[in-house]
Amino acid sequence: DVKVTQSSRYLVKRTGEKVFLECVQDMDHENMFWYRQDPGLGLRLIYFSYDVKMKEKGDIPEGYSVSREKKERFSLILESASTNQTSMYLCASSSEGWNTEAFFGQGTRLTVV
């Protein structure tokens, strides 16, 4: 069974903390994504990686960075967490090409207090 695993289902952090959200996929996929989902705003792409050590900004990269040192792992980093980063964060992966589907993790609900 294909799997995208996010390290935490729920997370509470304090304002100003450095936060790491981890995502691991076991499908040898080239592409990995981080989205955030907020009521009324839908899923918005934060960052995208198409290969190890490669990354592209999505629609809302401000306040975030990413790391992809190994093919199976894609980390989202909040350098200094703020309350407006309270959200549901979703990781996904897909293989390269036009004709491929993406697989999503279950999400991490992050609350910044």
Partner 1 sequence: DAKTTQPTSMDCAEGRAANLPCNHSTISGNEYVYWYRQIHSQGPQYIIHGLKNNETNEMASLIITEDRKSSTLILPHATLRDTAVYYCIVKANQGGKLIFGQGTELSVKP
**Least spacing, CB of residue 43 vs partner 1, in Å:** 4
**Least spacing, CB of residue 80 vs partner 1, in Å:** 27
Judged by the rule CB under 8 A, the positions of this chain that interact with partner 1 are: 4, 30-31, 33, 35, 42-45, 48, 50, 56, 58-59, 90, 92, 94-107
**Least spacing, CB of residue 32 vs partner 1, in Å:** 9
C-beta of 50 vs 77, nearer to partner 1: 50
Long-range contacts of 77-82 (CB under 8 A, 24+ apart): 77/18, 77/19, 77/20, 77/21, 78/13, 78/17, 78/18, 78/19, 78/21, 79/18, 80/16, 80/17, 80/18, 81/13, 81/14, 81/15, 81/16, 81/17, 81/18, 81/19, 81/112, 82/15, 82/112
C-beta of 21 vs 92, nearer to partner 1: 92
C-beta of 30 vs 73, nearer to partner 1: 30
